[in-house]
Amino acid sequence: MAEIETGDVKQAPGAVKLQLLRAIPVLVVLGLLVHFVLPRLGTIQESFQTLRRMLPWALAAAILAECFSYVANGMVLRSVVALAGERLRLGRACAIARRSWPSPWQAPSSYCSFTSSRGRR
């Protein structure tokens, strides 16, 4: 059989530091995920159980109501932008409303403060 020489592989001193610098953001993000997601796993499982128990028409009505909510928030955002003399398409306004309000249970006041704190383009 062929012999394989095992020698010490030498790396440049900066290579280890660079690998460590690449790993730190990943570790920070994973740590934050564990910190914020793990305590809520019980609530998420309860939510899925509630969704499974819901009648199909009630679930469809909830989804439809949520869609109407985003359209209504988009129309409000569109009218506020119109007060400033600018134009904003309804589809884009609804997309902004959807992205700025990540949860249907989040307080509307945070949505209003988010949209008012954003600068105009």
pLDDT at 24 over 60: yes
pLDDT average, residue stretch 88-98: 85
Rounded CA gap, 104 and 102, in Å? 7
Q: What residue spans define the domains of the chain?
A: 11-53, 56-121
pLDDT tens string 105-115: 554 444 444 44
Output the six-digit token pair for 19: 């690998």
Q: Coil, helix or strand for 61? A: helix
Measuring CA to CA, how many Å separate 49 from each of 39, 61, 88, 93, 105? Answer: 17, 18, 39, 33, 18
Q: What pLDDT, on the 0 to 100 scale, is given for residue 116?
A: 46
User: In which residue are the tokens 């499974």 written?
Assistant: 52
In the chain, the DSSP E strands lie at none
Q: What pLDDT, on the 0 to 100 scale, is given for residue 120?
A: 45
User: How many other CB atoms are there within 10 angstroms of residue 84's CB atom?
Assistant: 9
